Amino acid sequence: MMARIAAEAGLHYEEEAQPMDPSGKVAVITGGASGIGLATAKLLAANGARVVIGDLQDELGRAAAAEIETAGGQAHFVRTDVLIRDDLQRLLDTAVERFGRVDIVHNNAGVNEGGDFLAPDADAWERTLAIDLEAVIRLTQLAVQQFRKQGGGGVIINTASMGGIIPISTSPIYATSKAGVIHLSRSLGHLASEGIRVNAICPSYTDTPMVRAAGEQVMEMMKQEVGGILTPEQIAEGVLELVRDDSRAGAVMRVTIRNGLDYAFERRAGR
């Protein structure tokens, strides 16, 4: 309407993008058995999306899918090790078999096993890099291929971290992996020309099993450092916003106690 009025007046008008409605969409979420991924799976399902959870944790994954179904949603669990390419392909294929397509991919599985960098346990840091960055790259590639097969469209939200923006002296490999996730997502902003949006979300400290595993003392330190700790549900709200906001591509959302949801890099589709 505005575009027509502007055209009649001889003006260029950049049409506001329409929000993507998650209702009826098919969402694939890695690391969806716990923490941020679980909260996202529940929130997307509550907003009408059909969700496929991929995770290493069988019992928790099945329980998550059952809980969503009991609440009236549609969900399915696929045991997935994001380190195995065939598992990632099977995760997408199962979503297609079960629900017909894939519209949303939340690349979220992650670990922080870096250990002491200066007395390194090689296996630990390599695993962190492989899960937190390489697997994100791989599933992003596979998801884009799937979106193209479907004729374009689709959104990928990669879980990075504030640690990908601000250096973490105690977890340099984790921080490096997350910085890679941010740069990958920004570098794929151009896929918006095919209607495919790749964005990253950077949570600050969030109360999940990953953080709890570090112990009470570390959690207290985190709270002191940034003024509190976020809930997984707050991060899920950010993911939902990135699903809905059709104008964002190659953007990097931050979620912090201080500023709530805002953007470290604001890129919008077509700009």
Ligand X SMILES: NC(=O)c1ccc[n+]([C@@H]2O[C@H](COP(=O)([O-])OP(=O)(O)OC[C@H]3O[C@@H](n4cnc5c(N)ncnc54)[C@H](O)[C@@H]3O)[C@@H](O)[C@H]2O)c1
Rank residues 77 and 147 by Cβ distance to ligand X and give the closer one. 77
Residue 124 is a binding residue for ligand X (CB under 6 A): no
Q: Which of 120, 209, 215, 270 binds ligand X (CB under 6 A)?
A: 209
- Give CA–CA dist 131/108, Å, rounded: 10
Q: Are 142 and 88 in contact (CB under 8 A)?
A: yes
Reduced to 3 states (helix: H, G, I; strand: E, B; else coil), residue 266 is coil
Q: What is the largest CA-CA distance in the chain?
A: 68
Burial of 173 (0-12, 13-18, 19+ CB in 10 A): buried
Shortest Å distance, C-beta 270 to ligand X: 29
Residue 158 is a binding residue for ligand X (CB under 6 A): no
- Name, in order, each residue with C-beta under 8 angstroms of 231's C-beta and a sequence gap of 6 or more: 39, 206, 207
Q: Which stretch binds ligand X (CB under 6 A): 96-104, 149-157, 189-197, 203-211?
A: 203-211
Residue 205 is a binding residue for ligand X (CB under 6 A): yes
Site string for ligand X, 80-119 (x = CB under 6 A): xxxx------------------------xxxx--------
The token pair that represents 254 in the structure block: 């931050």
The single residue of 13, 174, 205, 263 carrying the catalytic annotation is 174
- For residue 174, indicate whether it is catalytic: yes
The token pair that represents 165 in the structure block: 């923006």
Rank residues 113 and 194 by Cβ distance to ligand X and give the closer one. 113
Residue 211 is a binding residue for ligand X (CB under 6 A): yes
Shortest Å distance, C-beta 267 to ligand X: 20
Q: Are 184 and 139 in contact (CB under 8 A)?
A: no
Closest CA to 261 of 237, 244, 245: 237
DSSP state of 15: P
- What is the CA 144 to chain-centroid distance, rounded? 15
Q: Which of 27, 34, 156, 173 binds ligand X (CB under 6 A)?
A: 34
Q: Which of 52, 56, 92, 156 binds ligand X (CB under 6 A)?
A: 56
Q: Which stretch binds ligand X (CB under 6 A): 5-13, 92-100, 115-123, 207-215?
A: 207-215
Rank residues 104 and 192 by Cβ distance to ligand X and give the closer one. 104
The token pair that represents 228 in the structure block: 């509190």
Known catalytic residues are 174
Residues at the site binding ligand X, with contacts judged by CB under 6 A: 30-31, 33-37, 55-57, 80-83, 108-111, 131, 159, 161, 203, 205-206, 208-211
